[in-house]
Amino acid sequence: MTTTPALSVVVPLLNEQESLPELVAWIDRVCLQHQLTYEVILVDDGSTDASWQVIQQLATQYGQVKGIRFRRNYGKSAALNEGFTAARGDVVMTMDADLQDSPDEIPELCRMITQDGYDLVSGWKQKRYDPLTKTIPTKIYNGVTRLITGIQLHDMNCGLKAYRREVVKNIEVYGEMHRYIPAIAKWEGFTKIGEKVVQHRARKYGKTKFGLERFVNGFLDLVTITFIGKFGKKPMHFFGTLGLITFFLGFVIAAYLSFAKLAYEQYGMTDRPLFYFGILCMIIGTQLFVGGFLGEMISRNSPIRNNYQIAETLRINQTQPE
């Protein structure tokens, strides 16, 4: 019979053969010092170096190490999602494989989950060892994300995070949505979200896997996840409302031009640019309303339309008197 570990550490990786032995040894040392039962799940996201061979050696050396290997590169979100599925710990923690996240943060992050009652704790790399070309766009990105999601985290995309087990078992991470796991968790009802200042270490091996395009992709993903979180089960509320407002604006313009034509007859309606703007508003409004109606039809026929997060169920045993 296998015992459930107190901690699962999920590590997505791509071409990190040099850093893996040092990272796993560090995690093992910290967990042993603090008497934490643990497992490490290394998810190889299609590495082209010897990362998988290193993982196999580590699994032999440490009984707590597990490995998952993708046939090709699917991205960090896919790696995290598979790691979350395999995780068995009461606390699930994620960290990057490049040694920029310090395993020394593990005990305090676990304490904040188990004792302080947080659903999710995100690391905040207050002092970063990154070039300005990365730190300045990151600050802008985090500011916009706080404004849109309402989650007051200084470092939304920090790879070092801790979760209560129920959180990772009730969310799905896909595409490039790993940047917005706190937002996904919040919209699934896990609202106790905190942060902790953590140590940021300079990269010791290899090179960064991200370029500036991640900021463009990140913004598009933010728009997507915001819309899905608020209107995924009620698309008519968004498209229908926007469509009615746009159509009404066009109708008012057309009514005004019609009245002016009948009252003054000084010009032809089609001679004024406002006429075409009004017609355009009515056409777009109709399309938005129909789009919302079709979205509502699709949503109501979805097999997951009634999937809700149930925190707990209370059953009262009512025994009928004889």
Which amino acid, one-letter code, is at 207?
K
Q: How confident is the model at residue 202 (pLDDT cuts 50, 70, 90)?
A: confident
Q: What per-residue confidence (pLDDT) applies to 262?
A: 78
Q: What per-residue confidence (pLDDT) applies to 21?
A: 95
Residue 241 has pLDDT above 80, yes or no: yes
Write the DSSP symbol of residue 47: -
Q: What per-residue confidence (pLDDT) applies to 299?
A: 67
Helix (H, G, I), strand (E, B) or coil at 297: helix
Please calculate the CA angle 77-78-81 and round it to the nearest 5 degrees. Answer: 85
pTM for the model stands at: 0.73
Q: What per-residue confidence (pLDDT) applies to 69?
A: 95
What mean pLDDT comes out for the span 90-107?
94
Mean per-residue pLDDT of the chain: 84
Residue 314 has pLDDT above 80, yes or no: no
Residue 45 contacts residue 12 (beta carbons within 8 Å): yes
List, edge to edge, every strand of the sheet that includes 7-13. 65-69, 38-44, 7-13, 91-94, 161-164, 120-124, 193-197
